[in-house]
Amino acid sequence: MKTLRDVKIGESAVIKRLYGQGPTRRRIMDMGLTKGTAVYVRKVAPLGDPVEIRARDYELSLRKADAQLIEVEA
Amino acid sequence: MQLKIALAGNPNSGKTTLFNDLTGSSQYVGNWPGVTVEKKEGRFRADKEILIQDLPGIYSLSPYSPEEVISRSYLIDEEPDAILNIVDGTNIERNLYLTTQLLEVGLPTLVAVNMMDVVQKNGDKLDLVKLSSMLGCEVVGISALKKKGGIEVCKKLSKLAVERKVGKRPDFYTPKIESALVRIENAIKGKVPEKSLRWYAVKVFERDTKVLAKVALPDAERNAIEKAIKEIETAEDDDAEGIITNQRYAFVQKIFAATVTKAAKPGTLTTSDKIDKVMTNRVLALPIFFAIIWFMYYVAVSTVGTWMTDWANDGLFGDGWHLAYCHDTPAFCSKAVNERNASIAKEAESAKTKNAATLKAAGLPEDFDARAEGVSEADAKTFATVKDKLAEVPEAETWESASGEFADAGKRIAAWGNAAVAAGAAKWVPADGGEKADAPEVDDENVREFKLVVTDEAKAKTVKSEKVLFENEESGEIDREEVVDYEAYLENLKVAKPDPSDYGIWIPGIPVLAEKFLDRIEANDLVRGILNDAIIGGVGTVFGFVPQICIVFLFLAFLEDCGYMARIAFIMDRIFRKFGLSGKSFIPMLVGMGCGVPAVMATRTIEAQRDRRMTITLGTYIPCGAKAAIIAMFVPCFFGNSAIAASSMYFMGIAVIVFSGIALKKTRPFLGDPAPFVMELPAYHMPTFSGVMTHTWERVKAYMIKAGTIIFAACTVLWLLKTFSWSFQMVGLEDSMLASIGNTFAWIFSPLGFGDWKGAVASVTAFIAKEEATATLAMLAPDVAGGTLKGVHALFEGFGPEAAQGALASLAAMSFMVFNMFDPPCLVAVATICREMGNWKWSLGAIGFQLALGYSLGLIVYQLGGVFFYGQPFDIGAIIASAVALAMIWFIVRPVPKLHKA
């Protein structure tokens, strides 16, 4: 299964499915990362985590651990 | 007619700017009850009948974060008359997601599309008419930053509210879901307010526990609904929350496609993108970050902040300050000083001319300066031969030089006087004629409190002082030494205390003015004490911090408003989340080196409630400026001025924060999934001057009011306790109520090595302000040869068991220092903690934790330190200390306990 964590910097992917539960899952969805949304991985923080992505026309950052909850397809 | 309007919108949508524009200065800032979320309300400046309630910036009305819970319970339970939904026009897609939820609440709603100026500048097009018809509510374009449209929007909305005009709710759910929602609506009809029926129905569909508990459906009904939800879930292959969210975003996407035309091709970089490319660059991000932080710290804590705080403490609430010096403007000097300076100038002129001639004669340039760079060896040699012939060029007299001269004279008098007393040629008597039984130790500090009476003049003439060392004003190095004889002593006696008002415009401090006022009304000692010590002293301490707080908040407001604060969290998150804090905790900790009060207040930038509470609890563990005063007294006194001992307190502070974070993270209140760190990185933009100012002012104001009132009360009580005996006689500290109270609980500190009322009282006064501990110890220390520090040393020698003969003094001092570093901070900071926690349980928890930790660390230092370094027996105290240490280690390393779901 390919997750958002596996997407390389500078590449895009489309969200297929969300795992996880409760606040984290809801928060990810509320921020617009829903099924079918295209995301672009922009960069990684200087210390290696979190990552900055672009989706729905704005920038957001999320931890790699959370990115792993997001299944994507290229 | 009184109207309540709720202002709702995403973070970074310009909500605060709009709120400030709408309410002007009539704002009230507080906390929502029980949580650390800021609550702001204000009256509409064009119509005072309208109350505007600023809701926290939120992305959704989910039941998970405290901000969202507050917003929804306000909208649902308090039923405002209307909702003003502010939407960022440059980011319609995510912003309208909240709008779809707000519209279901069923209140009159107006959508204000903000940043229309930016939209136009980017060349984008936004069809507001179409947007309005698709959303089924009024839509108006505004620019909060340019103050365009806000007032009109509010007026329009108040009209809607008066008419109770609710728009037509958009239908966007698929038929299957819609029929399920209608079914739920029928089931809960009558149990919830009619107008919010749809909102409740959606929440029931989402299985929102809070709403389910409220509507309390009968089991049969509940099961039937549950079955219908399950069916849809299976068909859509998603859970209920996900289905609803997808539907909303699908609708928003449709609106976006129909109303927005972007000028730029996707993928082109905006200015903000370009800035961000540099600011969070993998290589440059950390250096830039540290440079910004260093600059902020440099200005706020070590330079401007300290100057201003010193001015507030020593000037405004001290003796007074110079508004202007006369070496800049001679007109401000007294006539006598000007005359003296005129003759000095003449002397200097002639000395310069003479020196120039001497230099020229020796073959050197007239303006030769041996200190200058590039002086050749030959020239330097030549200079050495004429050096002695050069006359000294006198400098104009200034306040610094005059007061420096007065201090130097005092130094000489003290040195010679002590030598004369030792030789039996003179004795010290108190200058005010009072009695002091023992021969006191006179030093540079207190020399002006004494008068020297020469008893044997013949002998005195032969007395010579020990070497007196003088420091260079600029470098701080010792560059002169003198031996003072009788002649020089007499000469130095003539140096009069300079009057500051002779050297410029001198503004007396508030205490001085108060003193004058009290003299005029012939007030008694009680009134004097209360006014001077309790009110001016206590409240002065609070206001002394204000300049530093202002500067810190100015920076914070700027960092926050320009969008960099989110990047700080982005950069630092990796480190801080390891011990249960957030990337944004970095700034409070840093500010804490200056003062714990702004540090605790700086936690306001942390949105996640748990992270914020943790940062508040741990934020004051980095030694602040006042704690540094304790370090500054104890390190030379007990640890031979070792830099290691001094810096160890800072390292210990960091270690305490790290390990407490790790340990606390595993305790119940902080347990659970880490707050989701899915954070928007807003576009950079230049904050407005008025925005930053309002932001700063409202926080400073809140501090002054709250801390001011609490501190005033506490200082008055403590002053009364330390001034009066139980029979309400004014007495010295030794006989005061405070001393006897200190005696009753001094035993508590016995295991820490300072179980004497003096140590106990010093710890209590340290609670008023940490640096007070040094003053109290100095006051309570016995008078021994060698000055205050020796006295404090002797005091601590007396604390240990008699058998140890004072050998444990350093250990007790270390324990005292550790206790006072890591127990709860001073009263002002504690008051701020209580205010920021917004909940007495959390406040007590934080303070209790700090108290327990400070005590435990002191105990471990004294008991185990005694066993390991001073050969003390491994007795019951050491056993308890070991147990405490083991317990602490266990709390740090234990596995994360399972969270029991309530």
Residue B33, domain CATH? 3.40.50.300
Q: What is the mean pLDDT of chain A?
A: 90
Nearest Cα residue in chain B from A55: B94
Amino acid B901: pLDDT:
46
Listed as ranges, residues in chain B with pLDDT below 70 are: 25, 34-36, 265-267, 300-302, 326-328, 432-441, 473-476, 533-534, 537-539, 541-542, 545, 594, 672-675, 706-708, 710-711, 783-787, 802-805, 899-902
How many CB pairs below 8 A link A and B? 116
Q: Which residues of B touch A38 (CB under 8 A)?
A: none
B59–A30 CB contact, under 8 Å? yes
Chain A contact present for B381, CB below 8 A: no
Q: What is the mean pLDDT of residues A5-14?
A: 93
The residues in B 55-94 lying below 8 A from A, measured between CB atoms, are: 59-60, 62, 64-65, 91, 93-94
A32–B62 CB contact, under 8 Å? no
Report DSSP letters for A31-71, one per residue.
Answer: TT--TT-EEEEEEE-TTS--EEEEETTEEEEE-HHHHTTEE
Q: List helix spans (H) across B545-593.
A: 546-562, 564-576, 586-592
Which of A30, A36, A61 shows the shortest C-beta gap to B570?
A61
Q: Are residues B774 and B695 in the same domain?
A: no
DSSP β-bridge partners for residue B410:
none
Q: Are residues B738 and B654 in the same domain?
A: no
Amino acid B815: pLDDT:
92
Q: Are residues B687 and B745 in the same domain?
A: no
B681–A59 CB contact, under 8 Å? yes
Q: Are residues B468 and B415 in the same domain?
A: yes
Nearest Cα residue in chain A from B672: A23
Q: What is the mean pLDDT of chain B?
A: 83
B286–A46 CB contact, under 8 Å? yes
Dist. CA B69–CA B209, nearest whole Å: 12
Measuring CA to CA, which residue among B763, B767, B764, B760 is closest to residue B746? B760
Structure-token pair, residue B220:
């049969």
* Distance between start and end Cα atoms, chain A: 12
Question: How far are the Cα atoms of B19, B52, B72, B161 from residue B154, in angstroms, in the given order?
Answer: 11, 10, 21, 10
Structure-token pair, residue B783:
């008078």
Tell me the domain boundaries of chain A.
4-73
Domain count, chain B: 5
Amino acid B99: pLDDT:
96
A48–B574 CB contact, under 8 Å? yes
CATH code that applies to domain A4-73: 2.30.30.90
Q: Are residues B881 and B740 in the same domain?
A: yes
The residues in B 554-613 lying below 8 A from A, measured between CB atoms, are: 566, 570-571, 573-575, 577
Q: Please indicate, yes or no, if residue B232 is contained in any of the structural domains.
A: no
Q: Please indicate, yes or no, if residue B535 is contained in any of the structural domains.
A: no
B678–A47 CB contact, under 8 Å? no
Stated pTM of the model: 0.74
Measuring CA to CA, which residue among B534, B588, B623 is closest to residue B833? B588
Q: In the sheet that B82-88 helps form, which strands lie side by side, from edge to edge? A: B27-31, B38-43, B50-54, B3-9, B82-88, B109-114, B138-141
Q: Which residues of A touch B683 (CB under 8 A)?
A: 59
Q: Are residues B578 and B644 in the same domain?
A: yes
Q: Are residues B455 and B345 in the same domain?
A: no
Nearest Cα residue in chain B from A40: B267
Q: Please indicate, yes or no, if residue B533 is contained in any of the structural domains.
A: no
| Crossing angle of helices B737-745 and B689-723, rounded to 10° | 90
B678–A37 CB contact, under 8 Å? no
Q: Are residues B734 and B768 in the same domain?
A: yes
B59–A59 CB contact, under 8 Å? no
Residues in chain A: 74
Question: How far are the Cα atoms of B296, B551, B711 from residue B546, in angstroms, in the given order?
Answer: 17, 9, 14
| Interface test with chain B among A30, A43, A58, by most B beta carbons within 10 Å | A30
B59–A25 CB contact, under 8 Å? no
Q: Please indicate, yes or no, if residue B209 is contained in any of the structural domains.
A: no
Q: Please indicate, yes or no, if residue B776 is contained in any of the structural domains.
A: yes
Dist. CA B481–CA B466, nearest whole Å: 10
Amino acid B342: pLDDT:
84
Q: Are residues B96 and B134 in the same domain?
A: yes
B681–A60 CB contact, under 8 Å? yes
Q: Are residues B716 and B689 in the same domain?
A: no
Q: Please indicate, yes or no, if residue B844 is contained in any of the structural domains.
A: yes
Q: List helix spans (H) across B563-688.
A: 564-576, 586-592, 596-602, 609-618, 625-638, 643-665
Q: Please indicate, yes or no, if residue B641 is contained in any of the structural domains.
A: yes
B680–A22 CB contact, under 8 Å? no
Radius of gyration, CA atoms only, chain B: 35
In angstroms, the separation between the Cα of residue A72 and the nearest Cα of chain B is 15
| Interface test with chain A among B239, B272, B570, B575, by most A beta carbons within 10 Å | B570
| Interface test with chain B among A58, A69, A70, by most B beta carbons within 10 Å | A58
| Crossing angle of helices B399-423 and B486-493, rounded to 10° | 140
Which of A30, A50, A52 shows the shortest C-beta gap to B62?
A30
pLDDT digits (tens, 9 = 90+) for B343-376: 888 888 888 888 888 888 887 877 777 777 777 7
Q: What ipTM was reported for this prediction?
A: 0.95
Amino acid B902: pLDDT:
41
Q: Please indicate, yes or no, if residue B32 is contained in any of the structural domains.
A: yes
Q: Which residues of A touch B279 (CB under 8 A)?
A: none
Residue ending a domain, among B106, B132, B163, is: B163
8 A C-beta contact, residue B673 and residue A24: yes
- Note down the domain range covering B81: 3-163
| Interface test with chain B among A25, A27, A52, by most B beta carbons within 10 Å | A27
Nearest Cα residue in chain A from B64: A23
Q: Which residues of A touch B675 (CB under 8 A)?
A: 23
DSSP state of B499: P
Residue ending a domain, among B657, B686, B703, is: B703
Q: Are residues B41 and B105 in the same domain?
A: yes
Nearest Cα residue in chain B from A12: B267
Q: Are residues B557 and B450 in the same domain?
A: no
In angstroms, the separation between the Cα of residue B572 and the nearest Cα of chain A is 8
